[in-house]
Chains A and B, each alone.
Chain A
Amino acid sequence: MPLKTYERPYLRKLNAGLGNKFGTRNSQVPVTEIDGVPVAKLMEEYGSPCFVLSEQTIRQTYRNAVRAFSTRYPKVQMAWSYKTNYLNAVCRIFHDEGSWAEVVSIFEYRKALANGVPGTQILFNGPDKSEDDLRTAVQHGSLIHIDHLDEVYLLSEILASEGLKARVALRINMDTGVYPLWDRFGFNYENGSAWTAVTKVMAQPRMELVGLHCHIGTYMLSAQAYAVASHKLCDLADEIRKQYQRRIEYLDLGGGFASGNTLKGSYLQGSDVIPTMDDYAEAITSTILQHPFAMSGEIPTLYLESGRALIDDAGYLLGSVLALKRLGDGRRATIMDFGVNLLFTSFWYEHRISPAQEYSSHHEDMVLYGPLCMNIDVVRENVSLPLLKRGDRVVVHRVGAYNMTQWMQFIQMRPNVVLIDRQGQVHLIRRRETVDTLNEMELTPLHLELGQGKPA
């Protein structure tokens, strides 16, 4: 008689008041392929863990965003927010689709240049721009988004010494009815700092105030907040028009649109509560189009720096089970070969995790730990998954944003990153790090070189 397929013995207490198992079916459905490429094959070739990006999804998501805005508004320009994911292959897809670059450091700035973005199509944001950084940006004719008054003075000196002019925008922060208020960046609208900054910049003969910028927060669950932000930027632009007869050329509404991930502590699934790209677009464009400022002359170009919402869905993390355990209180714990070192976002998301092979309908609640020797290395505090065993593969969804830039090299090295193109071809776009990657950066003082005898 052939042997029966084995599934480890399982026992679950039926507790009242804890819902039922007919709710978690979709966490059982295995994800065996990404864009037609078998997960097992990807992991055999590129190892475990391994990040996977879908070019198809990136382009689709981007085009949907462009459609949502440009069908409502005549002049829209996207600028890819580098910090979200600055792998060159990813950036180039966005640039290929027509996106400019939004950067917040000279290192990102140089990446953008190297990715073929003309200096005039780079928006330089952020509080950290050194004198050299500003000089570089000025020389390339980039749009400088000023964060604080010190920057106004520094930039003014640089422009004088270079004998150049710069096109600048002011970063404005404001109350949009959403908490927390990001009032540490730029100039506050309500307390008048924004207007003070306007007068300061307007007094600079070498600065041309062409834009107003805001980035009101990230993972914004309210499209209405963007209507408020758009309104306030328009008010400010209108005031500038009246007082200085200067026309603001563009309004940059920043990023912050939510992705379908579920925030920790949220009762409902993220994908069920986030506004759609059309909701955001409607809130922003209808506000601007109806504002007296837009009606008073040429309408401003709308810049957007969406990051998370454009790349999160396209990223997957593949990994496998290292071990199973029981915790002191009887709970099941599963240890994965990826943790917070690679999934920084698991600090605030309850990432959806699918098995990559078939199981029975049984499932158990468990804590999902990463491989680090560190107590905070928890991927999911409580997740219901099938009866996993050592070596089983899983797919973590929606990891494209911020993980491949905030990952840390701690205990483990960073893994391979691959891109699946639209023909289903797999391309390695970032090699896994090795011990040499680290050692290459290190220098050993002569007296600590091996074979130099004992140090004195």
Chain B
Amino acid sequence: MSSGRTPCTVAVSGLNNIDSPGPGMPVIRALRESSNLEVRIVGLSYDSLEPGLYMHDLVDKSYQIPLPSAGTEALLERLKYIQSIEQIDVLIPNFDAELHNFIRIAPLLRDSLRIKTFLPDLADFDARHKAVLFEYGQQHGVLVPKSHTVFTLMEFHRALEANTYPVVVKGKYYDAQIAYSADEAVSAFYKISAKWGLPVLLQEHVRGTEVNVTVLGDGTGSCIGAVPMRKLYITDKGKAWAGVSIEDEALMQLSRTLIESARWKGPCELEFMRSEEGEYYLMEMNPRFPAWVYLACGCGQNHPEALVQMAMGYHPEPMTRYRVGHMFIRYSQDLIVPMEEFEKISTLGEL
């Protein structure tokens, strides 16, 4: 290669670059800007309308893959077919719902298809789950608002007694409502359990400012990169519209400590609340790149590149510096696509 960059093929999912975007396209853009890697990108999609499928300057070839609900057997079967055409070196899954399955088949992918991933194991993946995040925080020295997992109204009432208002009532997967009285809390319990089922989480409310960090751990206790961001504006769907990289040494220290103590492997997004007293509470830990990960790249830390390097067995230097005060602002634009392309991906599953 004249560029001196290492050629490699990277498969990326989460090509749904819509108004509440998946992380796939930002990850691909970062990889395309790598100074060390010369990437061919294989897109993995679940739906024929994922915009990334049609962005041919960023994605070289795309394949449909079975929904996570179809199971790992079907997924492996499909990847085996894809790998018979491609030579995928590294695969980066980006959807919450697919992570469990990819983690589960990671050893098989490595051994039988020679596809590398860089993911936490199932125990680590489960340990930072919403319902057990409090214990996780205790273990690694990070504050987490106390929460109760409740299955019945009676338990909910009991849990309410132990709380001061306001409280946050959270659904199993999504949704959260702040309640200022027992009546409000109970009505939120009904609403949320009707929509998302049981259990429901009752959580201590932390007033403050939300700050997020995108982090990459090497799995042996080193934090390879971390960039903090504060959302400047959110869309009506609650997604970031714009955000800015900030300088906050305490937050960085905390994030690094967590990643080091947990020996976290792979990317993750840490969602913190900085309370009015200046304390940081970990609200959620998403075990994948956030959709705003391209900001990290723009600030001088190319996390997707480092992840691919680690997956391939290299040891990139930890990145500690980043540019403060750089913003991302999301925009959308309309791709013009001939029907034939949609036909191809819909009927043949490849494009």
Contacts and interface: CB of A to CB of B under 8 A. Distances in A.
Direct interface between A and B, CB < 8 A: yes
Nearest to A19: B67
B33 to A, nearest CB: 30
Interface in B53-93: 63-74, 77-78
B29 interface: no
Contacts of B46: 19-20, 23
Contacts of A25: 66, 74, 77-78
A16 B342 CA distance: 11
A446 interface: no
A297 interface: no
Interface residues of B, number: 29
B151 interface: yes
A267 interface: yes
A198 to B, nearest CB: 28
B138 to A, nearest CB: 16
B65 A22 contact: yes
A269 B49 contact: no
A23 B151 contact: no
A265 B198 CA distance: 12
A21 B104 CA distance: 23
A19 B66 CA distance: 8
A26 B73 contact: yes
Nearest to B46: A19
Given A22-B349, A272-B100, A272-B101, A267 B49 contact: no
A180 interface: yes
Contacts of B72: 269, 271-272
A455 interface: no
Interface string A332-367: 000000000000000000000000000000000000
Nearest to A273: B100
Contacts of B69: 267-269
A20 B47 contact: yes
Interface string A248-286: 000000000000000001011101110000000000000
Contacts of A21: 349
A271 B100 CA distance: 12
Contacts of A24: 66, 70, 74
Contact of A23 (B74, B100, B197, B346): B74
A268 B151 contact: no
B208 to A, nearest CB: 30
Given A22-B64, A23-B65, A268-B71, A14 B48 contact: yes
B47 A17 contact: yes
Contacts of B47: 16-20
Contacts of B97: 267
B199 to A, nearest CB: 7
A6 interface: no
Contacts of B63: 22
A14 B343 CA distance: 10
Nearest to A272: B72
Interface in B138-153: 151
Contact of B48 (A20, A267, A271, A272): A20
Contact of A26 (B64, B70, B349): B70
A271 B73 CA distance: 9
Given A21-B349, A180-B151, A272-B100, A267 B68 contact: yes
Contact of B66 (A14, A22, A179): A22
B40 to A, nearest CB: 21
A20 B349 contact: yes
B13 to A, nearest CB: 13
Contacts of A269: 69-73
A265 B73 contact: no
A271 B71 contact: yes
Contacts of A16: 47-49
B151 A20 contact: no
B100 A268 contact: yes
B298 to A, nearest CB: 31
Candidate in B49, B71, B199 with the most chain A CB atoms within 10 angstroms: B71
Contacts of A26: 70-71, 73-74, 77
A272 B66 contact: no
B67 A272 contact: no
B349 A268 contact: no
Interface in A31-83: none
A21 B74 CA distance: 11
A23 B66 contact: yes
B314 to A, nearest CB: 31
A23 B67 contact: yes
A20 B78 CA distance: 12
Contacts of A272: 71-72, 100-101, 104
Nearest to A180: B151
Interface string B146-189: 00000100000000000000000000000000000000000000
A26 B199 CA distance: 32
A265 B66 contact: no
B149 to A, nearest CB: 8
Candidate in A18, A20, A24, A25 with the most chain B CB atoms within 10 angstroms: A20
Candidate in B63, B64, B198 with the most chain A CB atoms within 10 angstroms: B64
Nearest to B82: A22
Nearest to A29: B77
A179 B200 CA distance: 12
A22 B45 CA distance: 10
A18 B49 CA distance: 10
A24 B70 CA distance: 7
A441 to B, nearest CB: 43
Contacts of B45: 20
B202 to A, nearest CB: 15
A25 B65 CA distance: 11
Interface in B97-128: 97, 100-101, 104
Interface in B239-288: none
Contacts of B70: 23-24, 26, 269
Contacts of A14: 48, 346
Nearest to A21: B349
A22 B67 CA distance: 9
Contact of B64 (A20, A268, A273): A20
A24 B66 CA distance: 7
Nearest to A222: B126
A19 B44 CA distance: 12
Nearest to B151: A179
Candidate in B63, B67, B70 with the most chain A CB atoms within 10 angstroms: B70
Nearest to A17: B47
Contacts of B100: 268, 272-273
Nearest to A20: B64
A268 B101 contact: yes
The 9 closest A-B pairs by CB, nearest first: A23-B66, A269-B71, A179-B151, A23-B70, A22-B349, A20-B64, A22-B64, A19-B67, A16-B49
Interface of A: 14, 16-26, 179-180, 265, 267-269, 271-273
22 contacts: A14-B48, A16-B48, A19-B46, A20-B45, A20-B64, A20-B346, A23-B78, A24-B66, A24-B70, A26-B77, A179-B198, A179-B199, A267-B69, A267-B97, A268-B68, A268-B71, A268-B100, A269-B71, A269-B73, A271-B71, A271-B72, A271-B73
Given A23-B78, A26-B71, A269-B70, 4 more contacts: A20-B45, A26-B70, A271-B72, A271-B73
